[in-house]
Structure 1
């Protein structure tokens, strides 16, 4: 069980551990009417990763909240869709960092309009000056601890869609809000899930589809030379809200753009 809060009525309590310590996680789900894009994967990730943090939550309860939220919010937005956000925290209280045993989680539910669609012919990106340190214990979890992404996003200007963050060894990991997929030689390359701050649901869905099609997908560290070198046949940014976004230029360097990958993912075909 959890305590349910609607953002359009009231916020979380002042002693909520998500506010105090980032003790929780969240999901942002693209909605069309009362159905969600890759909805089951979002719910499965939240339940799984909450379990990794020691927060117990029922998938069935989350699904019921999504139904209630869809009935509550869908009519407020245009036909082009909206965003459902679920923020789950460990709950309220505890002394300092140490939580009380048997705490009841808090779930905050909010809705917002769809962001502008990226240019289908490709976007501009750059390399971030902010390094991304990923703790292996929480790798891949979409936790509330996103301060590195906040600092990197401050580098974005009107002409930049995304900045790509690197780890302490200089390997490219992910964007502030996107995962990376590189076309190179006869296949696809993406950083391994163990290196990611956020392992996106679209990333996993797409890797499965590419492998089902018989295409080669390699999970390994990605370097700047991989992106800027002659073997690069395209760089793509993955986000379940924004879709598959080709990069046209990065740090002033032109990249080849192939729109074929975008045809694999039609959000309307993954609604649940």
Structure 2
């Protein structure tokens, strides 16, 4: 059974493996008042990816804990972010986990970030390469040092930096997945190539398929992001929704079709 902790009280114990080794996962969930629009998606991913790491947790346990957190931190009209950190638990000297460990769940609250300019944002390429371990691909684990290093490049009006893998393919941003519109349709990097397969990424894929939009998962090169080829570049994040990129590395990008409109997402997330 999962043990629940509040960040504004004691926090996690010092022997927690999430603190010592990054042995766990997390979710950042946009909340409005005492509800969270995409909570089921977040919890389903958390349970699925925890199983990949060998951390046993039930979705009904997480749902009950999330409900407590929403009631504890939420208030009418408040837009905020609920963060859930799930770790393998405390104990076990060294890398090898102890036997019969009980997972820990830490819940915290923070203000929602300001929404990006609806006219689009400025984005650059990162100099930090992204390495995706096939065993951990797509998992929102606590190991995010590459993203931390890349985020240090953000300055001025730059909203995000895009990271490439060893082959030079553009994979994702520090906190966003990406969708590119070409003459052939929409493309997003495949789930087995990204560090985090985001909840908003999943929602956008579902909406594109429902709308009958031409769509595929595939590698994205810098050449496909040139203005003469790219018909639109959009970033997705479950807190900020769908964000149009108007300028990439000093070049203005077109926006022939608005992804947020096609996907018909909640107006609070557009």
TM-score, normalised with respect to structure 1: 0.95
Stretches of structure 2 that go unaligned for 5 or more consecutive residues are none
Residue 222 of structure 1, CA deviation: 0.2
Q: Distance in 1 between matches of 2:74 and 2:78?
A: 11
The size of the alignment, in residue pairs, is 268
Aligned equivalent of 2:130: 132
Among 246, 249, 257, the residue aligned to 2:255: 257
Q: Out of 256-265 and 206-215, give the one that drifted further.
A: 256-265
Q: CA–CA distance in 2 between the matches of 1:27 and 1:258?
A: 32
Matches within 5 A, 1:139-154: 139-154=137-152
- Tell me the residue number matched to 1:57: 57
**TM-score, normalised to structure 2's length?**
0.96
Corresponding residue of 2:265: 266
Say which is worse superposed, 220-229 or 24-33, in terms of deviation.
220-229
Query: In 2, Cα distance between the equivalents of 1:227 and 1:217?
Result: 16
Name the SS of the counterpart of 2:135 in structure 1: helix
Q: RMSD value over aligned CA atoms?
A: 1.4
Distance 1:243 1:40, change over 3 A: same
The equivalent residue for 1:11 is 11
Q: What's the CA shift for 1:186?
A: 3.6
**1:21 is aligned to 2:21:** yes
Does the alignment pair 1:211 with 2:231?
A: no
1:95 to 93, 96, 103: 93
Shift of 1:265: 3.9
Report the Cα offset of residue 269 of structure 1. 8.2
Secondary structure in structure 1 of the residue aligned to 2:246: strand
Q: Deviations over 1:119-145 (max 9, x none)?
A: 110000000000000000010000000
Rounded to whole Å, the distance in 2 between the matches of 1:60 and 1:2 is: 11
Q: Which structure is richer in relative contact order (CA contacts within 8 A, separation 6 or more)?
A: 1
- Deviation digits for residues 1-20 of structure 1, max 9, x if unmatched? 11111001112111110011
Match in the other structure for 2:110: 112
* SS state at 1:121 partner: coil
Q: Distance in 2 between matches of 1:108 and 1:81?
A: 20
Contact 1:37 1:240 in 2 (8 A): no
Partner of 1:202: 200
Q: Deviations over 1:32-60 (max 9, x none)?
A: 11111211010000000000000000100
**Is the Cα–Cα contact under 8 Å of residues 227 and 254 in structure 2 kept in the other structure?**
no
Moved over 4 A (4+): none
Q: Determine if contact 2:128/2:146 at 8 Å carries over to the other structure.
A: yes
The structure-2 alpha-carbon separation of the partners of 1:259 and 1:229, relative to structure 1 and needing over 3 Å to count, comes to closer
Which string of whole-angstrom CA distances, capped at 9 and with x for unpartnered residues, describes residues 187-236 of structure 1?
A: 10110111010000111111111111111111111001100151210100
Q: Which is worse superposed, 226-235 or 142-151?
A: 226-235
CA distance in 1, matches of 2:112, 2:210: 30
Matched-pair contact (CA < 8 Å) for 2:7–2:107: yes
Separation in 2, partners of 1:195, 1:101: 32
